[in-house]
Amino acid sequence: MSIAPSQVGAALKPTDFASDQEVKWCPGCGDYSVLAQTKRILSKLGYDKSNTVFVSGIGCSSRFPYYMATYGFHSIHGRAPTVATGLKLARPDLNVFIVTGDGDALSIGGNHFIHLMRRNIDLKIILFNNRIYGLTKGQYSPTSEHGKKTKSSPMGTVEPPIRPISVALGAEASFAARALDADVKHLEYVLERACKHVGTAFVEVYQNCVIFNDGAYAYAADKGTRADSVVYLEHGKPLVFGKNLDKGIRLNGGGEHQGREDRRSAAPRRAGRRAGVFAEPLASPGVSRTGRHLPRRGRAEIFAAGARADCASRGDAGGGRSSEAPDRAGHVGGRLTRTSACL
């Protein structure tokens, strides 16, 4: 079901949403960026502090409610969605936000996370994904890269990582987007779109942990390489990227050949049954040349705002899908676009 959003009150300054508590995240942590942009959006949209609640679970990100001059609930590990669901159903007039992390939401809280997406209650979820357990001092998390060496995986992780956007898509989330802590303008835009969405709005934030996983998203965070690594997904616009906008994303319906090209892992074989997604150079914007995979370590991530999207292309992935569904939440253009790959 989808519950109508609450009425917002008179606009306040971003600083009015800051509590009197000392922020105790590590200097340089990406959490500061999310906190700042959240306060900015609440001010911009005229939220009333007395009608706004932040619910968190366990982890560095879950200190969030202490730093907001609103109501807050610091719950237990993985259970923030259950607390927030009960609160919203009992008080539909409240603006309820869930703040969680990759470990909190996708490990012990995975089941609650999935069903929250499925129910489509009018809640907003901000998931801080730093690919590590930071609060407990550096163990690998459900989103850690395959082979990641940490205190709890000294020989390297053996499991492939969970992709939060893919989980949200599988649970039929009505709004799923991804942003980057270092790209504050886009992060602000994504959070604004999420707040305006009626229903469950999920935002994954690629976030750096300077102590235990520094440089987790360096390819996207570094301004020198961001243009060649990031695709901003906007409805009705071509998927072009690069400093000169001379690269693009092509959906190839004949993706079966990809599974034959690389038999070294199960992922390409599974992906071969879906339409392939390639990154390819363009002779000029809008004119395609012969498609080629990115180098194995190269990638192009789609950072979505208001559309359901996952990473667009990666050299070792091969495979993706694209579908469209009728608009359920007033998205731009009246249609809801879903593009996902690297599943």
pLDDT, one tens digit per residue, over 301-328 is 556 544 333 333 333 333 333 333 333 3
What pLDDT shows up at residue 215?
83
Catalogue the long-range contacts made by 260-268 (C-beta closer than 8 Å, 24 or more residues apart).
Answer: 261/318, 262/316, 262/318, 265/316, 267/160, 267/316, 267/317, 267/318, 267/319, 268/316, 268/317, 268/318, 268/319
What pLDDT shows up at residue 149?
82
136 CA to centre of own chain: 23
Most confident by average pLDDT, 46-55, 108-117, 143-152: 46-55
Give the side-chain half-sphere CA count within 13 A for 298.
Answer: 14
Nearest to 102 by CA among 190, 165, 146, 55: 165
What pLDDT shows up at residue 173?
92
More confident residue, 10 or 335: 10
- 3-state SS assignment for residue 267: helix
| Alpha-carbon span 54 to 7, nearest angstrom | 17
Whole-model pTM: value is 0.72
Nearest to 160 by CA among 140, 138, 145, 141: 145
Domains of the chain are 14-206 (3.40.50.970), 224-341 (no CATH)
List the Cα angle 11/87/306 in 5-degree steps: 55
Lowest mean pLDDT among 101-105, 190-194, 227-231, 301-305: 301-305
Give residue 276's region: left, alpha or beta (phi > 0; psi -120 to 50).
beta
| pLDDT above 70 coverage of the chain, percent | 70
Q: Could you say which DSSP state residue 68 is in?
A: B
Put the strands of the sheet holding 52-56 in their side by side order.
71-74, 52-56, 95-101, 124-129, 201-206, 175-180
Most confident by average pLDDT, 114-128, 231-245, 277-291: 114-128
Tokens of 227: 């243009």
pLDDT bracket for residue 10 (50, 70, 90)? low
What pLDDT shows up at residue 304?
56
What pLDDT shows up at residue 234?
81
